[in-house]
Amino acid sequence: MDYLSFCRGVLIGGLMGDCYGFVYEGSPASKFTIPLELLQRSINGFDTKQLMYSDDTQMSLAILRSLKARNSFDAEHLAKEFTTDYFENGLHRCYGGSVGRVFSSLRMANYKDPYAHAADLFNGTGSYGNGGAMRIAPAALYGLRYPQREFEKIVIDITRLTHTNPLAICGALIQAYAIQMIFSLIHDHIQLDYVAFIDNLLKRLERTEYFVDFKQPNWLEALDAYKEKLQIVKYLLIDDKQPSVTNIVHQLDESWFILCYNTLFLVASGQRTLSTLRR
């Protein structure tokens, strides 16, 4: 199979989602049809204006640059890439409010002890936002060549440069595992089953060994939260009534909807990629 085409598809898909979804930034009342209409106008050539990407793509690009420059994951090097981008080109990228403190602290410490700065946020609980998951695709793609524990390590370590809360780390793992599992499905020519995919996604999360400890209450709470939401996703997928977007968002709430949508978009993309790569 064409490994490079798979990588390009995942990265370009993430970029498109970021650019077309950017209309929601700072506009919680935007209708869900707006980015879809914008996409259709772009495809038809009626709208040719340049779109803007957010901090998610900017940080994804930093991960790609760092991995290429060091030919491996170097926490201090990536921390510097993140920080430089934030201060030189971050004003209009809609970074989260707390991450600026992390980058300021990293710069003052000359990027030493790079994991400690994010871990200090919110009285030591760390950020639980979805930023770790939104930028993790490059790490997952790079880690496809690694044994499972090393795959987990690169995903978690890149995430905890800015997000250390169990909810954030589990979200990044789910996104990364989705990429890993889709790649395996394509490689092994296995038919995609949405329900089985979600079940296996949760099993893989539960089996994570590096850094994660689901015996601890905060980690167990995060795991249970994802189980609950992904079970809802599973039931929505098998519902013959085609639930409305309003109903889906109501059941998942906005932040969970975004993460689950991204994960399921990868599943759907994997199905299309499978037929494309076999041509």
User: Would you state the pLDDT for residue 167?
Assistant: 94
Architecture per CATH, 3-277: Orthogonal Bundle (1.10)
Feature table: binding site:
54-56
C-beta atoms surrounding 50 within 10 Å? 5
Distance of CA 53 to the CA centre of its chain: 15
**DSSP assigned state of 3:** H
Residue 228 φ/ψ, nearest 5 degrees: -60, -50
pLDDT at 16 over 50: yes
3-state DSSP percent of the chain in helix, strand and coil, to 5: 70, 0, 30
**DSSP assigned state of 152:** H
Task: Choose among 269, 260, 68: nearest CA to 183.
Answer: 269
Feature table: binding site for Mg(2+):
54-56
pTM (two decimals):
0.88
pLDDT digits (tens, 9 = 90+) for 190-218: 988 989 999 999 999 999 999 999 999 99
The pLDDT of 125-142, averaged and rounded, is 91
